[in-house]
Chains A and B, each alone.
Chain A
Amino acid sequence: MTSQARKFIIPIFVFLLALSLISANLHSRENMSFFESLVVGITAPVQKVVWGVIDGVGSVWRGYFYLVGLEKENQALKKELQELKLQMNRYREAELANERLRALLNFKKSIPTPLLPAQIVAFDPSGWFQTILIDKGRNDGVVLDMAVVSAEGLVGRVIGVGKHHAKVLLILDGNSAVDAYIQSSRARGVLVGLGRELCLLKYVQRNEDVQVGDKVISSGMGGVFPKGLLVGTVQEVVRGSSGLFQRVEVEPAVNFSRLEEVMVVIQPPPERPAMAGSQKRLE
C-alpha cells in the first residue's frame, strides 16, 4: 500500500469505525460491554484508592479545621433532637396502633426490602451527565433498574451492570424521571433532573396546593422506586399567568456533593408489560 493511499484509507476506516460504534449498542446498554468491563476493572481499584485519599483528606478538614460555629450548631442540634424525640414518640404510638389494626384486619405484614451497601467509585467523566459508578455488580445480586438510595433519600437507579460494578443514573440527570407526590397535599407529578443539584416536579396541576418546604415522596408507580421514599423538599413554586401546570422546583434530600456510600434496593426488577397474546395464553 502506498503512503498516499494509506493517508486516506486509515482516516476513512477510523471514521467508519466510529460511526459503526454508534449503532453497536444503540438498543441496549443493560450489560457493560467487554471494553467497558475491561476499563472499569482496571481503573476502578485506582479510582477507589484515590477517592479514599480524597475522603480521608476531607474528613481531616471537616474534623479539625471546619469547626467554626460548632458550639452554636451543637445547641441547635440538641434542640432539634429534643423535638425529634417528641415527634418520634408520637410516631411510635401511631406505629403501634397501626400494627394492632393491621393484625386485626389480617393484613399481611410487609417484609422489609433488603438493602445492599455500596461505595461510590467514580463519577461521569464528561461532566455533561449525572452518573456514578458503584462497587457492586451482577455477582452481588444487582440487576438493571434497581433503585439506589441513601440514608437521606432517593439517589437514582441502576442503568448498567458489570460483574463487580454498576452504573447508576442519579435523579439529578435530565434523563431521570421519578413518579412522586407532595406529602401534604398528595399532588402528583413526575420528578426530572435539571442537570445540576436541583430537580423539577413536572405536571403538577395549577390548582394543586403546593408550598415551599413541602416534602416530595416517591409514589412507587412504575415499580422501580419503592413507595414512600423521601426525594426532596419544594424550593420554589411558580404559577404563571397561563398554562395547565405550575413549576415546582425541588431540592433533593440527598446532598450529592458529599455522597460517598449508597444502598441498592435488592428487589426483583419491575415486570415488563406482557403482550396481549401471551396474556391470553396464560389465561
Chain B
Amino acid sequence: MATFILYLLLTLGAYLCQTVLYPAFLMPELRIDLFLVLVLHFSFYYERSKALILALLLGLLMDVGLPLRGSFFPLIYVAIALLASMLRHNLNLHSRRYQALFLGLCALIEGVGVRTILALQDAGFAEAGYFLRLLAWRTIVTALVGPLLLAGLEKTDQYLSAFTVRRESQEI
C-alpha cells in the first residue's frame, strides 16, 4: 500500500513538473520525460505485467493535454516497457552506463515515434532542423540525468522495503 501511494504521488509530481514547472523554468531542450524514467524503473525492478499496466496508465495521462487524434502515448510507453523488461535479463541494465545508453535510446524512440505518428496523421509538425536539435539535446540530457533519477527511485524502493520489513518484524 505504501509503495502504491508513493508511486501515485511520484506520478502526480512528475505530471505537475511536466505541465507547470518545466514550461516555467526549463528550456524545451533540457526537458526530461519523467514518465519515461518511471516506466523504465518499473520495467527494470518490477514484474512485467505491473510495468506494462503502469506504462499504459502513464501513457493515458500523458495523452490528456495533447492535440493528437488517437491515444498514441500508451502504445509508445507499453512498447518501451516491453522492450526494457525483455532486455533486463539479457543486458546488464543495472549498470549505470548501460542505463544511460538505454534511457537515451528510449528518448530517441519516443521522439521519433511522435514524429512518425504526426507524419502518419498527415498533421503539421515542427521544422525538421529544430526537431532534430531538440531530439538530440533531449537524448543527451536524458542519458546524462536519467540514471541519477533511476538511482533515486532505487533508493526509495530500498528504503520502502526496509521500512516494511522493520514494521513486520516489530509486529511479530
What residues of chain A have their CB less than 8 Å away from a CB belonging to chain B? 6-7, 10-11, 14-15, 17-19, 21-29, 32, 35-36, 39-40, 43, 46-47, 50-51, 54, 58, 122-129, 131, 133, 159-160, 167, 169, 173-177, 192-196, 200
Contact = CB atoms under 8 A, between A and B. Distances in A.
A126 B114 contact: yes
A174 B123 contact: yes
B48 A21 contact: no
A4 to B, nearest CB: 13
Contacts of B19: 43, 47, 122-125, 133
Interface residues of B, number: 53
Contact of B20 (A28, A123, A160, A193): A123
- Which 3 residue pairs spanning A and B have beta carbons closest together? A195-B126, A122-B19, A174-B124
Contact of B21 (A11, A54, A174, A177): A54
By DSSP majority rule, is chain B's interface helix, strand, loop, or mixed? helix
A111 B35 CA distance: 48
A14 B70 contact: no
17 contacts: A11-B82, A14-B49, A14-B52, A15-B79, A22-B70, A22-B75, A27-B69, A39-B61, A47-B20, A54-B21, A124-B19, A127-B33, A127-B138, A131-B66, A160-B67, A174-B127, A195-B134
B124 A193 contact: yes
Contacts of B25: 54
Contacts of A194: 126-127, 130
A15 B134 CA distance: 29
A125 B127 CA distance: 20
A14 B78 CA distance: 8
B61 A46 contact: no
Contact of B69 (A29, A51, A173, A174): A29
Contacts of A7: 48-49
A43 B12 contact: yes
Which residue, of B31, B55, B75, has the highest number of chain A Cβ atoms within 10 A?
Answer: B75
Nearest to A23: B70
A177 B123 CA distance: 11
Given A7-B48, A131-B66, A177-B124, A50 B71 contact: no
A266 B138 CA distance: 39
B20 A50 contact: yes
Contact of A173 (B62, B63, B67): B67
A126 B20 contact: no
A36 B70 contact: no
Which residue, of B56, B71, B82, B123, has the highest number of chain A Cβ atoms within 10 A?
Answer: B71
Which residue, of B12, B67, B131, has the highest number of chain A Cβ atoms within 10 A?
Answer: B67
Contacts of B78: 14-15, 18
Interface in B106-160: 111, 114, 118, 123-127, 130-131, 134, 138
B82 A46 contact: no
Contacts of B163: none
Which residue, of B15, B21, B23, has the highest number of chain A Cβ atoms within 10 A?
Answer: B23
Contacts of A169: 67
A123 B65 contact: yes
A245 B128 CA distance: 19
A122 B65 contact: yes
Contacts of B68: 129
